[in-house]
């Protein structure tokens, strides 16, 4: 699994020009799933994200997690995170998981994050065309990959 994590002051997601979900201060997680991903990848990545210390403490040092600040998380499926651009100029998405693999893992990821947070996460709809409006706070953007454990 790959994730692009952005610290946000607010974030909203619309489908067909209708707001579907929104969050306040917290994290936007763009989540890519590949065929070889498992429940172990879900557990590892969710644990890292919920404990990721990217929010300022009273001294202005990034020392607090989304849990520490009672923040929110929005999770959006993003198959293009597995784009391969090594040949030509048109990306290949062959490493991205097919829906029959990706949807259950995406749903498990949402359930695990919600369990870790103790509250509902914002989401989109798997496979839908979505528009995301966000205010990246910092800016802070982190890339994570469960296979590389980084």
- 109 has catalytic annotation: no
- Which of 79, 101, 123, 126 is an active site residue? 79
Question: For residues 68 and 55, is the Cβ–Cβ distance under 8 A?
Answer: yes
Whole-number average pLDDT of the chain: 95
Q: What is the pLDDT of residue 109?
A: 98
The domain segmentation of the chain, as residue ranges, is 2-145
Q: What is the pLDDT of residues 105-134, one digit of tens each?
A: 999 999 999 999 999 999 999 999 999 999
Can you tell me the distance from the alpha carbon of 123 to that of 16, in angstroms, rounded to the nearest whole number? 15
- Which of 6, 38, 55, 78 is an active site residue? 78
Can you tell me the distance from the alpha carbon of 59 to that of 55, in angstroms, rounded to the nearest whole number? 11
The residue among 101, 49, 99, 42 whose CA lies nearest residue 71 is 49
- 6 has catalytic annotation: no
- Which of 80, 85, 109, 123 is an active site residue? 80
- 80 has catalytic annotation: yes
CATH class of 2-145: alpha beta
- pLDDT range class, residue 150, cuts 50, 70, 90: confident
């Amino acid at each position: 699994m790959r994730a692009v994590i952005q610290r946000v002051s607010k974030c909203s997601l619309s489908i067909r020009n209708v707001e579907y979900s929104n969050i306040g201060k917290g994290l936007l997680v763009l989540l890519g799933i590949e065929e070889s991903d498992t429940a172990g990848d879900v557990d590892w990545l969710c644990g890292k994200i919920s404990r990721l210390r990217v929010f300022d403490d009273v001294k202005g040092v990034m020392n607090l997690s989304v849990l520490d600040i009672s923040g929110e998380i929005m999770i959006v499926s993003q198959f293009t995170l597995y784009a391969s651009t090594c040949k030509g100029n048109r990306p290949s998405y062959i490493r991205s998981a097919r829906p029959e693999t990706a949807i259950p893992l995406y749903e498990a990821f949402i359930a695990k994050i919600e369990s870790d947070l103790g509250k509902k996460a914002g989401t989109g709809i798997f496979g839908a065309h979505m528009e995301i409006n966000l205010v990246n706070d910092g800016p802070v953007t982190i890339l994570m990959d469960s296979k590389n454990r980084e």
